Amino acid sequence: MNVLIVIETCFGNTQRFAEAIASGLVRRGAAVTVVKAADVRPDALNEVDLLIVGAPTHNRGLPGPASRRMAQTQGAGATGPGVAEWLDVMPEYHGRAAAFDSVSGTGFINGSAAKKIVKRLQRNLVEVADSESFVVGAAEGPPLDGELERAEKFGTSLA
């Protein structure tokens, strides 16, 4: 199984979750590539059996230019374009997909980038198998205890 994980990360938390998900998939025999949305090649979806898209939750949804600038004022690395922009121009894809996000809480008030990713994928007529949110202690992280292990199990379940 060939898996592509497309991510956006500001403080590195979404990257950590992507790597944990990849680890779970690799344990089940998958070949996994993790790539930032800004670096996805146009032909990247060729030969992909499972597409996983992940992003941090900003302002109850996907990061945008304004929220990325705000994250940079808090110490985030340079980012952009991100997952939202990639989803706008993603090539046609007919395989399975999944979504995940990093969030600072799981209540309604926190929102979910993963839910936005699912909606955007479905608009592109992509079948979404599952989605999950992984919790960080604050925008800067770190992931809460047990969350990286939960991400690895999520990867295993997708294999």
Torsion over CA: 142, 132, 20, 65 (sign)? negative
pLDDT tens-place string over residues 104-120? 866 666 789 999 999 99
- As given in the structure block, the two tokens for residue 86 are 């990639």
Angle subtended by helix axes 13-27 and 147-158, to nearest 10: 40
What do you get for the CA distance between the two ends of the chain, in Å? 8
Q: Which fold has domain 2-158?
A: Rossmann fold (3.40.50)
Percent of the chain exceeding pLDDT 90 equals: 65
- What digits encode the pLDDT tens for the residues 4-57? 999 998 878 999 999 999 999 999 999 999 999 999 998 999 999 999 999 998
Q: What is the C-alpha to C-alpha distance for residues 24 and 96, in angstroms, rounded to an integer?
A: 17
pTM of the predicted structure, to 2 decimals: 0.92
The position carrying tokens 């304004």 is 66
pLDDT band at 81 (very low <50, low <70, confident <90, very high): confident
**Cα 122 from Cα 117, distance rounded (Å):** 9
